[in-house]
Homo-oligomer: A and B are copies of this chain.
Amino acid sequence: MDVSIINIGDELLLGQVVNSNAATMGRMLTEGGFEVESVLTVGDSREAIRQAIDQALRQSRIVLVTGGLGPTKDDITKQVLCECFNSRLVESKVALENVRRIFTARGFELTPVNRAQALVPECCEVLNNDLGTAPCMWFHTPRSVLASLPGVPFEMEWLMQNRVIPKLQETFQTGTILNKNILTQGIGESFLSDLIEPWELALPENIRLAYLPTAGMLKLRLTGRVQNIQSNRITLKNQISEAVEGLYKLAGQYIIGEDCETLAELAHSTLLAHSLTLATAESCTGGAIASALTAQAGASAYFRGGIVAYSNEVKESALGVQHSTLAAHGAVSEETVREMAEGARRRLGADYAIATTGIAGPDGGTQEKPVGTVWIAVSSPSGTHAQLLQFPGRRRQQNIERTVNQALAMLIKDITKPSITNKP
């Protein structure tokens, strides 16, 4: 069952806000058995919104619209929906009750601007928004359904989960889609493609492969699809298991994990599964490793803490790096990164520690240590090992992301494949 998504907002076209809603909705709809056919972003313009909705209703049986439901003058989605469905704005009791409830809870008085949040096109059904004052509106045409949601990400996500997807599943009979992620590391897209070509060509017709490269990691995604019958779903699971087995035979040495979106997720589950604790000592990544891990609920079970040692003084005082080491080899060196990792492990009392130091760019490089020079170390009860990376670009954010991913990959490999990593 195909879905057209329309995201409304000048800020999206101007690039001041990244459209994360589209990705969130895509993920949730895919998991719910729906397929997103297109995502269209338009500005806060009556004509553009009208045209987008009319076309989407002609094209798709399910249309989801976000944005333009706020209380301010640039929010015009409800007026346009009235035009599209030949309706008029009326005050909804359900929506007004919800606005009142939220304002009472926050201890604020209901202003006329806020009361206007309860106006909705007469022909729609209001799906209650527990988290905000903008209502979620559900429309029918003989051929399609349309739901209009607020653009505020957490309200949209809650409404999708609790209102829209259940109602879509009730309205339409959906097929089953199964996704399987395989995370690889240490091989480029074109080389992996050459290596696994015979396997890829032999995949069943209902299974598709996608290559999803990110900074320092290449994710493969298998997507299988069947009609929604119990026996089909079992067959699909077996097909995907067989495909994964075949992939391991050809490219097993590059596979670092399965069923995760990111290496931070994989590191999280690996540390939990092995009941190991972790500390970090970050220079060039500036807290990005700690932040990626602690963004996940439950990180406190393994994450002891981290030191962001940006200045040399902090490397000495907080991590115990020797002054003589920094003087002799510099902050970006094997000697320093090893002492950082060992210092973090000892001082923060963890089983494992990761350390990073490097020149993320865009400036700050030298002839000997150009931008993109990075040292990573992993320290564990069985020893410390360090690796030198040399990234080609000068882009700071990319070099930081690559370093984060390489460091997490080193940690994961050290825990799960201790025999093949280099020990001193």
Contact = CB atoms under 8 A, between A and B. Distances in A.
A306 interface: yes
8 contacts: A12-B39, A14-B27, A71-B193, A73-B209, A105-B392, A113-B190, A287-B306, A317-B348
B37 A40 contact: no
A30 to B, nearest CB: 5
Contacts of A154: 393, 395, 398
B300 A304 contact: no
Interface of A: 10-20, 22-30, 35-44, 48, 52, 70-74, 105-106, 111, 113-114, 131, 152, 154, 179, 181, 189-191, 193-194, 200, 208-214, 219, 221, 223, 261, 280, 282, 285-291, 293-295, 297, 299-300, 303-311, 313-314, 317-318, 347-349, 361-364, 392-393, 395-398, 400
A78 B216 CA distance: 26
Given A111-B194, A290-B308, 11 more contacts: A11-B210, A12-B39, A16-B23, A16-B212, A38-B52, A74-B208, A131-B393, A295-B396, A300-B364, A304-B310, A305-B308
SS of A interface (majority): mixed
Contacts of A308: 280, 287, 290, 294, 305-308
A286 B280 contact: no
B300 A311 contact: yes
- Most chain B CB within 10 A, of A28, A40, A311, is at A311
B13 A37 contact: yes
A223 B13 CA distance: 13
